[in-house]
Amino acid sequence: MSTRVIDSFPSPVIVAPMAGGPTTPALVRAADAAGSFSALALGTSPMNVVAQQLDAMEGARFGLNLFHPQPPLTKDLWAAAQTISDEEGVVLDHVDYTFGWHEKLALALAHDNRPAVIWSMFGTFSDEEIQRIHEAGIEAWTTVTTAADALVAARRGVDVLCVQGADAGGHRGTWTIEEEPDWRPLRELVADVHAALEAEGFAIPLIAAGGLRDHADVEEALGWPGVAKVSCGSAFLLAEEAGTSESNRELIASGGETVSTRALSGRYARGLATDYTRTHPDMAPIYPHLSPLLKTRRAQKDPAVAYCLVGVEPERLGGGSVAEILQRL
């Protein structure tokens, strides 16, 4: 089985959506112009930014990546967040655990510049949301990290599944903040997902994501069962069109150890190790509260709490335009 969007661009590589700044409209447009595909990464963005970025996509084909709502922290997890708040001497504020999901979805469906794909992270769509998306002529994609999640999404009618492995930079796409991620190599995870889908009669295209760094990696992943495309995010962090900050560009260029930990944001994410990640190896799942608690120190460029999300082997990443990086991959 294939889908209209997956089949409609020649590049085997999708430029992964990267929330928090690296993915810009310019990067997404550049991917489209180079024969690839990408998605605006607006999971944490306020509604005015969502509207501005959708406005900027006129004439381009693109996707929209959103963060699925999560339940509020339990009483025990709120207490754990309060402990960190006390350590930092800052106020623990309430946050919007929906990430504006419903409003962003409604805006995307009604906007003149409709995305070709709406891509969910941290969960999948309801039956009703799938229906609305399909009625608008849009495809529904979902990131999964387990075979069980893949089956839930498939049964809902999702068009494409992005299977994200442990080497991926940024947040791991687990569907709860509490669960321990699957640490198996991407090849094994893809095989498990494909076998589970096949056993239930689903032939949904898979996107393999996580730690793919060069042409050999891409070529190998494309040979795995069910894989239609691969997704690379960290490979584009140093792209000319990326919104990656200058400080993070310097950190990535200098290389270093990466770690998948809750001590970067409160849920599992892979990034450059810091003093804070080393001294908080057992950080409680308090996403999305940790980043606001460390916001002042990070704004002051305190290296102990630097927030540089990137996948494994950052020393293998290079710069250039999106088109040039795609050609290398």
Q: Give the model's pLDDT for residue 3.
A: 64
Q: Give the model's pLDDT for residue 261.
A: 98
| pLDDT tens string 277-296 | 999 999 999 999 999 999 99
Q: Which of 318, 277, 309 has its CA nearest to residue 20?
A: 309
CA distance 27 to 49: 16
CA distance 165 to 189: 7
Q: What are phi and psi of 195, to 5 degrees?
A: -65, -40
Q: Which of 77, 71, 14, 18 has its CA nearest to residue 290?
A: 77
Residue 26 has pLDDT above 90, yes or no: yes
How is the chain split into domains, by residue range? 4-328
- Amino acid 327 reads Q
* Average confidence (pLDDT) over 7-28: 97
Tokens of 163: 């299977």
Class of domain 4-328 (CATH, top level): alpha beta
| pLDDT tens string 63-84 | 999 999 999 999 999 999 999 9
Q: What is the pTM of this model?
A: 0.96
| pLDDT tens string 220-233 | 999 999 999 999 99
CA distance 135 to 161: 20
Q: Give the model's pLDDT for residue 1.
A: 42
| pLDDT tens string 151-203 | 999 999 999 999 999 999 999 999 999 999 999 999 999 999 999 999 999 99
| pLDDT tens string 36-64 | 999 999 999 999 999 999 999 999 999 99
Q: Give the model's pLDDT for residue 255.
A: 85
Order of strands across the sheet that contains 258-261: 170-171, 269-272, 258-261
Backbone dihedral region for residue 124 (phi beyond 0: left; psi -120 to 50: alpha; all else: beta)? beta
CA distance 190 to 320: 30
Q: Write out the H or E segment, with its range, that includes residue 199.
A: helix 186-199
Q: Give the model's pLDDT for residue 286.
A: 98
Residue 304 has pLDDT above 50, yes or no: yes
| pLDDT tens string 249-259 | 999 998 899 99
Residue 65 DSSP class: E
In Å, the largest CA–CA distance within the chain is 54
Burial class (CB in 10 A: 0-12, 13-18, 19+), 247: middle
How is 131-176 classified by DSSP, letter by letter? HHHHHTT-EEEEEESSHHHHHHHHHHT-SEEEEE-TT-SEE---SS
Q: Is 184 helix (H, G, I), strand (E, B) or coil?
A: coil
